[in-house]
Each structure stands twice: as structure tokens, then as C-alpha cells.
Structure 1
């Protein structure tokens, strides 16, 4: 379901899985897209109260910001153990986001309500969520975030952000790399874990269902490697974080458009949901940790 984040298509998806007693969702989207979520459910003859399970890949606001609201409607929330405390008390999560987004917080993400602890189930690798004849398996997949899960339903893998960002009808996959938990080595191990499930379809939250998992993951690996090589060359020379952000944005645009073939309209969508300035900060933090700075 396209939640039409900020009035634009193909930015944030929530995936609906029907079962005999209602529906599961993979991702709730942010609080700012609750209206879009209600609209998309209504188009399918459903109400928010029909959502019995909400499966979160991780607790970043674009993926999980509406979890508290859905819990109020009766949904049970599923998340990695390290993400659960931020759902019960989102104070730290929101404070961190406010430092980044400032006055744009409400416009971008809307209200983020706490989730009652009794309505949260934490998931480890291989745990199964079963309801009404449907079974989904959780896959621990860190690299983008320490508390990241992917979900396997039959031959579909819902990859959250560890599957990268890709626009429909495009073959270009860009890794989203915000601070503070970027770890490319763990990310690559997570991609191997996904491959081991032998999915025929990949469904990243940003955005859509793709039928070429081998090509998709190869493109994502190219993006990870290119970004690592870039920061190793550029971080020692950057006089400030702002300078590094400016250089990274210019480099990523050239890499994506000139080397990988991304078109200009898709670049704008990538920037709207996976801003290069934020990935530059994640890369900078990763580089400093790696070099003891």
C-alpha cells in the first residue's frame, strides 16, 4: 500500500497480508501518513481495527511512527528486542530525530505515540508469527540498524531498509546509511542471510515488489562498496561534517545518475526518503569509529 508520504508516490510502503482473522501489516509508516493508511485500508474494505499484527522492520520513524496509533486500534506490535524499549517510551527516539529535523518534525513524521508493553512481542532470528493460516518468519538483519528485521512470507522477503532504496521500474539500488548504527560488514552478512532463504521476490519499504532478487542484491552491494570507498578517500580531507555532506551529495548524484543510470525524477524521490546528507553523517560516524576517531 502506497502511503503517499508528503503527498508523493513510491516513497513509503506498508505491506498488507490477509489472514482468516484479519490482516497483518509489515510497516506502519509514520504518524504523518495515518490518513493515507486509513484510506488504503478502506479501499480494500478494511478498517484500522482489522489490523491484528503490525510487523516492524525497525523503529525509525518512517517505518514505525504510527505503531502506537495502531496499537490504540487493537493491533499487536512485533519488533526486534533492541527496538522494543523505544516503542514503549519513544522519548529518546524523538529527541534524536528532533536534533536532526528541527522544525520539520511534525510536518515529516506527525505524532508518535507510545505502545503499551503488553501489546509488544519481540522477535529473534527464525521466530515465526502465525495467524489464521499465515506464517511469517523473522530474519535478524543488522547493518542499516542494529535492531533490524526482515520478514519472509513464502517466497517473498520484506526487506525494510537492509534491502536498500529502489524506485519502481528502476534497477538502481541505493543503500540508506543514517547514523548511528551503520555497519557495512554486518549489512553484507545480512544480505547473505536473505539470500539463504531463496526468495523469489524482494519487497523493500522504499519501494515496491521486485522480481529480480539476485540483480537487486548485487546492485545494493555495489552501492555499499562504492560508498565505503568514497568515505575512505574523502573523510580524511573533509574540514567539517557540512563539507562532507556537500561532497557526498554531489558524488552520489553523479554515481547514481551517470554511472548507474538513475533518472532525474527518481533522484528527487531518493532524496525525499533517503537524503544523501543523512547518509553522509552515517558514513562519517562509521569512518570515525573504524579509525578510532
Structure 2
């Protein structure tokens, strides 16, 4: 689905950022207003050219983007925020993520420890700092209103403590707390990177989303889905299954590498049982690598068990 209209007639356009040259992995959502356009999720610095191409295809340029709403500051969601800020856009983010946009060194160092320094450029490109005057923080229930369009922020931790969802009428943009689901699939896989994966808070955030009674969900990975109740139920089952696996298996692994391999094998088989098309697995691994979620599960398990 390339576009949809909200209950009040506001059009949302899906811009595919073609992460690593692959379609259908990272979406940036375009919402036009009377004075230009806002986007939800900038995508990474490595897809700036694709973002600008998608804007041009719609008769827009970077300087037409007035508002950039970021779900959280992980590089695949916020990496190009500084690039858009250089054209004048105001960047909206959770209070816990704001300092990392203004001073991204610590964020980049943390990502490099996970992905490897040699992979940072090819995967994520340049992360430009955002001037502090162009950062606006949002709390739960805050509204961004511009040019006849109003979007409400929802505080939704669990994947990360600095996570927001955004509600436009009956459409909820769910970032990563809405899980990863590729187009044409019913399988929803939770991304659980360290250090802030907290399933208890995540499940509470899913209830917060459900309380808004959205008709449509728009996760960043990827696209618009018309079955929010089924989607969130599937995601909840995935979180519970992963935590149960960790409770049983983390202590048995002799090394981190063995744990990662075991989790990847388990997740693949679990996903197939949940009707995942085998052809979709490489896409999931590219945007939501199971080896990284294994690290998040391990960190959570160790903290829970006082290890």
C-alpha cells in the first residue's frame, strides 16, 4: 500500500528508502500540510539519496520538509535527521533521545560496538548532529499541529526507553515497538537490541497503542497494515515466546556466539511456524538481525537474574 487517508482525509504516503538496495525494509512516511510537509522517520544517513529521490518524485525537495518526527534515535530511524535539519526542518524526539541527536558521538560508539566499526559507514552512512535549537522534545499526549494536520505523540518504551509512537487520527505510526512485518506477510517479529529491551514495558506500550483504537498500523519496517488487533496479538506472542526461550536457553550457551546461533536457529523455525515465507527471512535478518536480538535477550535475562 503506497498511500492511505486518515479518518479526516489526511493523506499519508509511504516512501521506500531502499535500505542496502532492497525494497520494503525501511519506510519514511510523508504527510503534506498547508506550509510544506512533515515526515515520520528520516531513515539512516545511508539512504539520504533515496529519501531525496522519493521527495522529488512527489514534487518536493528537502527544504519543503518542515517537521521530522522520530520514533527513536536508533540509526535506521534517525540517522538522516541532521541532514534534514540542515535544510531547516525541526526535529521532534523523545526527551531521552534529544541529547544524542545534538551530540551523537556516544550513540555512534555504542552502535560501532554492536555492528563493528568497519560496517558503520556502509550500513548507516553519515549521522550529522542536529542543532539544539532545532530539536523539540515530546511527552506522552503532546500534539504537533501544523497547516491543518495534528499528530499526537505516545510514550511507548520497551524496545528503547526513548521511543515514541505517533497517532494521526486512526493511523498509528509504531516505529519499532510495533515490531517488524514485511508486506504481504502476517508474521511479526520483535526487534530486541541491547541495552534497553524491557518486555514488561513493551507489553504495556502495546496496551497503550490498543487504547487509542487505531484502524491502521504503520511500522517503520514496513508499511501500512489494516489488521491492528491481529498484528499486536502476533507481536505480543513473539515477545512472550522469545522471553520464554531466553529463560530456558541463555544459561546453557557456552559463549555469546553459540547463544546467537542458537537463537537465530530457533527464531527461524518459530517464524516458519508462524507462516513466514522463507524468501522474507533475508530481509528480516538485514533490518532486524537475530544475532543482535540475542544480545538484547541476554542482557535482559542477566539483569533479571542478577547475573
Q: TM-score, normalised by structure 1?
A: 0.99
Within the candidate set 136, 142, 154, 1:127 is matched to 142
Q: What is the match of residue 295 of structure 2?
A: 281
Q: What is the match of residue 254 of structure 2?
A: 239
**How far does residue 100 in structure 1 lie from its aligned partner after superposition?**
1.7
User: 2:231 & 2:192 partners in 1: Cα distance?
Assistant: 17
User: 1:28 & 1:170 partners in 2: Cα distance?
Assistant: 24
Is the counterpart of residue 179 in structure 1 residue 194 in structure 2? yes
Matches within 5 A, 1:257-276: 257=272, 259-276=273-290
User: 2:63 & 2:145 partners in 1: Cα distance?
Assistant: 18
State the Cα RMSD in Å. 0.5
Within the candidate set 39, 42, 53, 1:25 is matched to 39
Equivalent residue pairs, number: 292
Q: What is the match of residue 110 of structure 1?
A: 125
| CA deviations over 1:186-210 (Å, ceiling 9, x no partner) | 0000000000101000000000000
**How far does residue 265 in structure 1 lie from its aligned partner after superposition?**
1.3
User: 2:138 & 2:226 partners in 1: Cα distance?
Assistant: 27
User: 1:98 & 1:227 partners in 2: Cα distance?
Assistant: 25
Q: What is the match of residue 243 of structure 2?
A: 228
**How far does residue 261 in structure 1 lie from its aligned partner after superposition?**
1.1
**How far does residue 148 in structure 1 lie from its aligned partner after superposition?**
0.2
Is the counterpart of residue 211 in structure 1 residue 211 in structure 2? no
* Structure 2, unpaired ranges of 5+: 1-14
Q: What is the match of residue 85 of structure 2?
A: 71
Q: What is the match of residue 169 of structure 2?
A: 154
Q: Which runs of 4+ in 1 moved over 6 A?
A: none
| CA deviations over 1:67-94 (Å, ceiling 9, x no partner) | 1110001100000000000000000000
Equivalent position SS for 1:199: coil
Is the counterpart of residue 54 in structure 1 residue 72 in structure 2? no
Q: What is the match of residue 215 of structure 2?
A: 200
Q: What is the match of residue 97 of structure 1?
A: 111
**How far does residue 264 in structure 1 lie from its aligned partner after superposition?**
1.2
**How far does residue 239 in structure 1 lie from its aligned partner after superposition?**
1.1
Within the candidate set 139, 158, 175, 2:154 is matched to 139
Within the candidate set 267, 289, 298, 1:252 is matched to 267
**How far does residue 101 in structure 1 lie from its aligned partner after superposition?**
1.7
Q: TM-score, normalised by structure 2?
A: 0.95
